[in-house]
Structure 1
Amino acid sequence: MTGQRTMQGGSWPRLRVADWAETRDTLHMWTQIVGKIRLAHAPMVNHWWQVTFYVTSRGLTTSAIPYRTGAFDIEFDFVDHRLVIRVSDGSRRELKLEPKTVAQFYAETMGVLGELGIRTRMHPRPNEVEPAVPFADDHRHASYDPHATRLLWGQLLQASRVFGEFRSGFIGKASPVHVFWGSMDLACTRFSGQPAPPPPPGGVPNLSDRVTREAYSAEMSSCGFWPGGGEEGAFYAYAYPEPAGFADYAVRPAEASYQRESGEFALPYEAVATAADPDQMLSEFLHSTYEATAELGGWDRAALEADRYRWDDR
């Protein structure tokens, strides 16, 4: 990483993708390991919402995972750079987040779980990537830049805050603001309440079609932030199924554009970070892409939306 090219840049941290690619790829595999631990123990929730992470005041957490008659959680602490495992019986373990191979991280994490009496069986290779090298055999990914991961956390804090405001105006079915470790993106999804046709098979590498069928089982308008796209990451929004005319809808702001290859609108992170009012620009993108989906898709907006300031006199 070249530190001169990576900046804090006010309240919206600046982090060029090229400057931390190796750390990002290593961290992606580490999050998959921890995510699969949650998957192994958490009861099923629609659209696989039980497997995700949540942004915290220090990093990313699994939240409480049930285990026998108790619970445990795992947090990536990007302030002190520790992986923290806490159990409801009061026990606790920490691992350093530092340069180490995926194989070493996997062995250490599973070893600590064993010390805590938490037995976990998982499919020990990553999803949604190609090639899918088994965790125990991955000696290539071994980078960890603490400055870069703290900047990433700062980006996620800002994005999740604005996404949370956006989510508050929707009273229909909506996902939490959460991080999917398969693609390592922050996402929030709204649903019309109507079923959707199954997606085409084989659309995601190293992921079972039954997983994508559940994920895309209902009409949706989804938005997110992916730290791996463009110069500094990108905000995105898409509709499933995509209604006619979606690609040509007048989405705002002007810096947003439709990407025909991926079938989604994209807004460069750097455009938001350098805007006079970053919150307003991102909010405009979220609202206008949702409007494109809801208007063109014939959603019952009167039943699904509410004034997000409706309780301000409480």
Structure 2
Amino acid sequence: MNEHNPTAPAWPALRVADWTETRDTLHMWMQIVGKVRLSLSPLVNHWWQVTSYVTARGLGTGAIPYGTRALDIEFDFCSNRLHLRTSDGGAGEVALEPKSVAQFHAETMQALADLGIDVRIQPTPNEVEPAIPFAEDTVHCAYDPDAASLFWRQLVQADRVFRTFRSHFVGKVSPVHFFWGAMDLACTRFSGRSAPIHPGGAPNCGDWVMVEGYSHELSSCGFWPGGGEEGAFYSYSYPAPEGFAGFPVGPRDAFYSNEFQQFLLPYEAVRKAADPDATVLEFLQDTYRAAADLGNWDRSALECDPDRWDALR
């Protein structure tokens, strides 16, 4: 079990190259759990019903409806257990330790069955290539608990700052949530206008999935374990307005990636900054301005002051 360490840096270092095998295995495990929620939950716009959320111990699904009961599933990176809980007091767990995706899949489905949860999930992962069926995947089998914990701690910091950024928007905006398809934490703002039909193109993912996800004009930001030596913060717009790629944004380490078609800010630049929170917020606000100003969003109607009631509290 990971013990509390008050002297540990809030923004931990974790080189992507040092945990790639664990990352890829954990990604597949997260897809299995995410697909359970997908299978049992009614559709919410932009697939918001399938995501996970940062918790005080890891990543959790929140309550999933199952008949008159509720189920939640949590990756606990403090105890290295997958916890499964039901509203009638049922509980199960799966150890997070070196094991194949096939074994994790079998153990998770058995734990669900033991709780009386009858669910079938899509048998293959999305947004990855190759898409090895979960029940046959013995390739991905690494799990470094320290690396998993460090990644979660990165997410804790990103989640906290994203929540501050989200609080300044009164228009339609997503929760801060974790998408298991691309393994990224995201928050998305919307202009209120519909968008052109998305062309799709994500590997092993139907184009119609992207059509739903990008049905309305948006500015999206997030964090994922790629794009930099220690991961990266990102921001993009759909559709990207003319001049978006050339819009000046801060901080100085931020740049537009032609490869990814979005702005990136390496995590290591944030971690080393004198004020990491301010560094991320500058990136988020500047890249949002690029989308909103160039796209002629009605900013006065969409933005708000989260401190507007402080004087009356």
TM-score normalized by the length of structure 2: 0.97
- Structure 1 unaligned runs (5+)? 1-7
What amino acid is aligned across from residue 309 of structure 1 in structure 2? D
Q: Distance in 1 between matches of 2:209 and 2:187?
A: 18
Q: Tell me the residue number matched to 1:258.
A: 256
Q: Tell me the residue number matched to 2:295.
A: 297
What amino acid is aligned across from residue 254 of structure 1 in structure 2? R
Q: How does 1:131-170 map to 2 (within 5 A)?
A: 131-170=130-169
Q: Distance in 1 between matches of 2:52 and 2:199?
A: 27
Q: Distance in 1 between matches of 2:268 and 2:67?
A: 45
Q: Distance in 1 between matches of 2:282 and 2:80?
A: 34
Q: Tell me the residue number matched to 1:51.
A: 50
Q: Tell me the residue number matched to 1:204.
A: 202
Q: Distance in 1 between matches of 2:226 and 2:72?
A: 27
Q: Distance in 2 between matches of 1:150 and 1:234?
A: 17
Counterpart selection for 1:270 from 255, 268, 281: 268
Give the 3-state SS of the residue equivalent to 1:239 in structure 2: strand
Q: Distance in 2 between matches of 1:10 and 1:108?
A: 35
Give the 3-state SS of the residue equivalent to 1:148 in structure 2: helix
Q: How does 1:99-114 map to 2 (within 5 A)?
A: 99-114=98-113
Q: Distance in 1 between matches of 2:174 and 2:227?
A: 23
Q: Deviations over 1:42-93 (max 9, x none)?
A: 1110000000000000000000000010101000000000000000010101
- Structure 2 unaligned runs (5+)? 1-6
Q: How does 1:269-288 map to 2 (within 5 A)?
A: 269-288=267-286
Q: Tell me the residue number matched to 1:34.
A: 33
Q: Deviations over 1:247-285 (max 9, x none)?
A: 111111111000012110000000000000000000000
Q: Tell me the residue number matched to 1:78.
A: 77
Is the contact made by 1:17 and 1:229 (CA closer than 8 Å) also made in structure 2?
no
Q: Deviations over 1:205-241 (max 9, x none)?
A: 0001111000000000000001123200000000000
Cα drift, residue 287 of structure 1: 0.4
Q: Following superposition, which runs of at least 4 residues in structure 1 exceed 4 angstroms of deviation?
A: none
Q: Tell me the residue number matched to 1:3.
A: none
Is the contact made by 2:54 and 2:156 (CA closer than 8 Å) also made in structure 1?
yes
Is the contact made by 1:72 and 1:85 (CA closer than 8 Å) also made in structure 2?
yes
**Number of residue pairs aligned between Structure 1 and Structure 2:** 306
Say yes or no: does 1:23 pair with 2:55: no
Give the 3-state SS of the residue equivalent to 2:92 in structure 1: strand
Is the contact made by 2:100 and 2:142 (CA closer than 8 Å) also made in structure 1?
yes
